[in-house]
């Protein structure tokens, strides 16, 4: 049982050079807000480099610590007709191009143990998808690469259960692990974000990122997963106020033409406005430092 007064913050984890998540709260000017962003699935090089360039430029204008994330394969699809991505080989080529052109830290998700080492050769961080967060062989294989891990909390998992996932990675010597909150299943075709989750994960010493776009999904609502983009701003602001250490955003230059998650991705201008408001929330909720 977690104490009624959980720890106010988690340990600090460096996902990549310049991108640290967790630790004692501080205003963004002293500790930049970690922001993981990118299109849901890798598409054309034009789309991928366009979003990556926007993120790199944004980091020069706002106090954020950026990481670019996109998927070479979206294995969990609503329908066989849904776009999955370009595959491992071409996907890693695109992600390597992002690093080469922008210098950004790069993240991608892995779905099978045999994908971990090839992905680790290109990416700074390996991500474990929500539905696979309890797959021991996958977690161990990803952790054994030595890359930092970002584990999506399953929609069926309580916050406290994620401690066991962290233990699996630590068993092979990898303690560079963060957890991403993306809501829990609540009835049919809906997700609910329990704002207590951030405090509960902090009580376990786990840094937590809030997935502001996947938590808007309405799973199984058609051939493509639906969603309610209109709630991105209020939920993200609430999560930062509740203690989220960083945010995860799916960003696409034209969400209505996106080949994956078109109902929840944000256009760059809207994502930028949202991040500006999140920085303001963070300044408001972090207590001032004593002189």
Q: What percent of the chain has pLDDT over 70?
A: 90
Write out the two tokens for 240: 């930062």
Confidence band for 80, pLDDT divided at 50, 70 and 90? low
Confidence band for 223, pLDDT divided at 50, 70 and 90? low
Tell me which CATH homologous superfamily contains domain 33-284. Answer: Aldolase class I (3.20.20.70)
pLDDT, tens digit, 9 for 90 and up, residues 260-270:
777 889 999 99
Residue 53 CB-half CA count within 13 A: 9
Of residues 190 and 40, more confidence is placed in 40
pLDDT, tens digit, 9 for 90 and up, residues 105-160:
999 999 999 999 999 999 999 999 999 999 999 999 999 999 999 999 999 999 99
- Distance, in Å, from the CA atom of 134 to the CA atom of 131, rounded to the nearest integer, reads 8
Contacts of 89 (CB under 8 A, 6+ apart): none
Q: What is the mean pLDDT of residues 156-182?
A: 96
pTM of the model: 0.92
Residue 224 has pLDDT above 80, yes or no: no
Instruction: Write down the pLDDT at residue 112.
Output: 96
Yes or no: say if 238 and 195 are a contact pair by the CB < 8 Å rule.
Answer: yes
- Distance, in Å, from the CA atom of 191 to the CA atom of 221, rounded to the nearest integer, reads 12
Yes or no: say if 166 and 206 are a contact pair by the CB < 8 Å rule.
Answer: yes
Name the range with the highest mean pLDDT among 146-150, 196-200, 283-287: 146-150
3-state secondary structure of 101: helix
Average pLDDT, the chain: 90
């Amino acid at each position: 049982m977690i104490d009624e007064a959980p720890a106010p913050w988690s340990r600090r984890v460096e996902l990549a050079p310049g991108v640290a998540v967790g630790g004692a709260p501080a205003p963004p000017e002293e500790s930049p807000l970690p922001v993981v962003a990118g299109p849901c699935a890798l598409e054309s090089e034009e789309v991928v480099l366009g979003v990556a360039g926007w993120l790199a430029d944004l980091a020069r204008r706002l106090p954020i610590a950026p990481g670019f994330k996109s998927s070479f394969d979206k294995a969990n699809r609503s329908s066989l007709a849904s776009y999955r991505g370009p595959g491992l080989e071409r996907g890693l080529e695109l992600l390597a191009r992002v690093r080469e052109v922008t210098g950004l830290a790069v993240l991608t998700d892995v779905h099978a143990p045999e994908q971990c080492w090839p992905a680790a050769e290109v990416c700074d961080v390996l991500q474990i998808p929500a539905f696979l967060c309890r797959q021991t062989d996958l977690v161990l294989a990803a952790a054994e690469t030595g890359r930092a891990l970002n584990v999506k909390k399953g929609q069926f998992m309580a916050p406290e259960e994620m401690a066991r996932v962290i233990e699996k990675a630590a068993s092979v010597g990898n303690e560079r692990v963060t957890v991403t909150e993306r809501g829990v299943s609540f009835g049919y075709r809906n997700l609910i974000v329990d704002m207590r989750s951030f405090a509960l994960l902090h009580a376990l010493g786990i840094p937590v990122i809030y997935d502001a776009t996947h938590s808007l999904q309405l799973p199984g609502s058609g051939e493509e997963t639906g969603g309610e983009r209109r709630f991105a701003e209020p939920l993200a602001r609430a999560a930062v106020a509740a203690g989220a250490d960083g945010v995860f955003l799916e960003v696409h230059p034209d969400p209505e033409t996106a080949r994956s998650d078109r109902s929840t991705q944000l256009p760059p201008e809207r994502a930028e406005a949202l991040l500006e408001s999140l920085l303001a929330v963070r300044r408001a909720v972090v207590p001032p430092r004593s002189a």
